[in-house]
């Protein structure tokens, strides 16, 4: 019985770091809750009390990482209805300290705010599960590559190749995205409020001018609600569809909240058949304009967000 208590205590101590890893590995808050339950079960049924060089129980990290990779593989094999977007999570007022380092010294290259941002999570989708977890452990959590390989039970050449491939595939993200500093948060918040005001006032022309020529609109309805099944491009088409979306959800209550390191709108409406009652509305910016608009409506994606009561 004592070893079960020790295992449960070790899991409780490491729970937040395991949650952070699994969320970044899968992009799904709902999956993380299931993964941590499975991880705790394994820890209690097969307890190990050894510690790594940092004083952490490596079997917990390994169990969580392997479960996350399996879940990611299963998700990628299933056909998702519509545009897949990560689950939003509430992150408070925290911001990145500054631009990420261009060199990889000891420690993480991406801080906790950036590695949990929507843009970062979407960029991770280009990585294979093993690449994704190795990259996260080394470049987001600061684990030395040989420790990460040992924790995951990978031969050094395999782990090294996965990490190098992941870093190559993340180069487009590095070149086109900024860390969510307070300045970036303020700039994004201004653009979001302007965009939302245009929707409320039905100013299609002004909304078009806020968008970059290559802007994209993504609705994640998961097949649950009426929404385009593919990204929509072009300022005119985006403005037209957003106004239709706003009209379909009137009247509504909304609040601005910090999700994944950037401001977002949380909307609640009476809803109609095949229209969402709750949704998250957010934007990404580039050169002072809105480059991407996202509306997340699928109910399983919103489990980690608390909406105001209607």
Span 194-212, average pLDDT: 95
Task: Give the mean pLDDT of the chain.
Answer: 89
Fold of 106-177: Arc Repressor Mutant, subunit A (1.10.10)
8-state DSSP, 87: P
pLDDT at 47: 55
Question: For residue 289, which of 215, 204, 186 has the smallest C-alpha distance?
Answer: 215
Residue 54 in this model has a pLDDT that exceeds 60: no
Fold of 1-78: Rna Polymerase Sigma Factor; Chain: A (1.10.1740)
> Phi and psi for 290 in degrees, rounded to 5?
-85, 120
Q: Where are the domains of the chain?
A: 1-78, 106-177, 182-302
- Which two three-digit tokens encode residue 260? 């994944």
pLDDT at 55: 44
Q: Within the chain, where are the H helices?
A: 2-26, 29-45, 58-77, 112-115, 118-124, 129-135, 145-152, 156-169, 171-176, 182-201, 204-209, 235-248
Span 159-164, average pLDDT: 97
| pLDDT (tens digit per residue) in 241-292 | 999 888 877 778 899 999 999 999 999 987 666 778 899 999 999 999 999 9
Model pTM?
A: 0.91
pLDDT at 37: 87
Residue 89 in this model has a pLDDT that exceeds 90: yes
- Which two three-digit tokens encode residue 125? 């989708």
- Of all residues in the chain, the percent with pLDDT exceeding 70 is 88
The whole-angstrom separation of Cα 115 and Cα 107 is: 14
Residue 220 in this model has a pLDDT that exceeds 50: yes
Domain 182-302 has CATH 3.10.450.50: yes
pLDDT at 52: 46
Q: Are 121 and 29 in contact (CB under 8 A)?
A: no
pLDDT at 91: 94
Q: Within 153-265, where are the H helices?
A: 156-169, 171-176, 182-201, 204-209, 235-248
Span 224-237, average pLDDT: 93
Q: Are 110 and 181 in contact (CB under 8 A)?
A: no
Query: 265 has which bridge partners?
Result: 256, 281
Span 106-121, average pLDDT: 93
Buried b (16+ CB within 10 A) or exposed e, 9-26: ebbeebeeebbbbbbbbb
| pLDDT (tens digit per residue) in 169-200 | 999 999 999 999 999 999 999 999 999 999 99
Q: Is the peptide bond before 106 cis (omega within 30 degrees of 0)?
A: no
């Amino acid at each position: 019985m004592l070893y079960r208590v020790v295992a449960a205590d070790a899991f409780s101590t490491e729970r937040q770091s395991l949650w952070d890893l699994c969320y970044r590995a899968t992009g799904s808050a709902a999956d993380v809750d299931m993964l941590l339950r499975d991880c705790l079960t394994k820890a209690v049924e097969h307890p190990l009390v050894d510690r790594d060089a940092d004083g952490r129980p490596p079997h917990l990290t390994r169990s969580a990482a392997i479960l996350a990779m399996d879940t990611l593989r299963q998700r990628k094999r299933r056909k998702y209805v519509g545009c897949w977007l990560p689950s939003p999570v509430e992150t408070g007022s925290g911001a990145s300290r500054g631009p990420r380092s261009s060199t990889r010294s000891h420690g993480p290259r991406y801080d906790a705010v950036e590695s949990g941002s929507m843009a970062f999570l979407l960029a991770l989708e280009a990585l294979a599960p093993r690449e994704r977890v190795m990259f996260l452990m080394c470049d987001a959590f600061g684990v030395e590559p040989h420790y990460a390989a040992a924790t995951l039970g990978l031969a050094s050449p395999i782990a090294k190749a996965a990490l190098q491939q992941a870093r190559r595939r993340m180069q487009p993200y590095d070149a086109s995205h900024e860390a969510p500093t307070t300045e970036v948060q303020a700039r994004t918040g201004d653009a979001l409020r302007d965009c939302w005001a245009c929707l409320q006032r039905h100013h299609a022309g002004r909304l078009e001018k806020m968008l970059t020529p290559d802007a994209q609109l993504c609705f994640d309805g998961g097949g649950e609600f009426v929404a385009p099944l593919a990204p929509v491009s072009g300022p005119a088409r985006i403005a037209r569809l957003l106004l239709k979306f706003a009209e379909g959800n009137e009247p509504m209550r909304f609040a601005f909240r910090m999700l994944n390191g950037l401001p977002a709108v949380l909307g609640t409406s009476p809803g109609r058949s095949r229209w969402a009652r709750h949704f998250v509305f957010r934007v990404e910016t580039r050169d002072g304009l809105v480059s991407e608009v996202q509306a997340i409506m699928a109910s399983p994606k919103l489990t980690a967000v608390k909406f105001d009561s209607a």
